[in-house]
Amino acid sequence: IMSGTTQRTSHYDLPRKRTTSNVRVRRSQMPIQEVVKILIPVILSMTLTLVFAKNFPTYKREILKEMHKQIGIIFFGKDSQENEDDLIFLDYSESDAEWSEWKTAVINALIIVSCIIVVTVLVVAVLILRGGWILGIILGVFFTIQLVFYPLIILHELFQLWNCAMDIITVGIMIYNYIIIGLLSLFYKKFPKKIQQGILIFQSAALAVILMKVLSEYMCLCLLFLLSVWGES
């Protein structure tokens, strides 16, 4: 009798064991699926960045000098190359030694990270004071500016690479459609996730290309190190 009851209970418990094993298999597969979902956008973003970096011109001193000149004209009303003391960051010169370039890169990276820290403190203060709507407006404005300038820079580089001309109206229509899609992906929760990921991947790759155009290798290494330290803290 005992053996019969044992066989019966084991027979009845077989479906339960199968279901529990299936649940365990599904739970073990869930982290793998989550990792794959994260890795695919990262790999696509890195691939697009490498394609841009391979075809577009990267850091050159002439680009940085031109940027210094434009910043001086905008903020100080004169050419910044006439008086380099007016710059909020340090300039590189052709005769700089390697240790001098490292020192300049560290100082410039510290300036950028200090600005990030100040902005973070301001954002936290706004949230504490219950000014979330103000923060939403500011983020919307900055995101719109990014949606305007990032594709413009990429299109400019592509037109130079392909040596083709494009009228302003067509470019304006393309940028307008991109802005609308980008804003919808930001504020509309039911927007397709694939399009949201595509917008973010393109924005990340465009930002990487812009940084490679104006930052030297020393500057990029110092900035990545300081940002990782700030992120861990």
pLDDT digits (tens, 9 = 90+) for 96-151: 566 777 777 788 788 888 888 898 898 888 888 888 888 888 888 888 898 998 89
Q: Is 59 exposed, middle or buried (0-12, 13-18, 19+ CB in 10 A)?
A: middle
pTM reported for the whole predicted model? 0.66
Residue 162's pLDDT is 85
- CA 42-45-51 angle, 5° bins: 140
DSSP conformational letter for 72: I
Contact (CB, 8 A) for 205 and 47: no
**Distance of alpha carbon 80 from alpha carbon 89, whole angstroms:** 11
Residue 169's pLDDT is 92
How much is the mean pLDDT over the chain? 74
Low-confidence residues in the chain, pLDDT < 50: 1-9, 11-12, 14, 80-88, 94
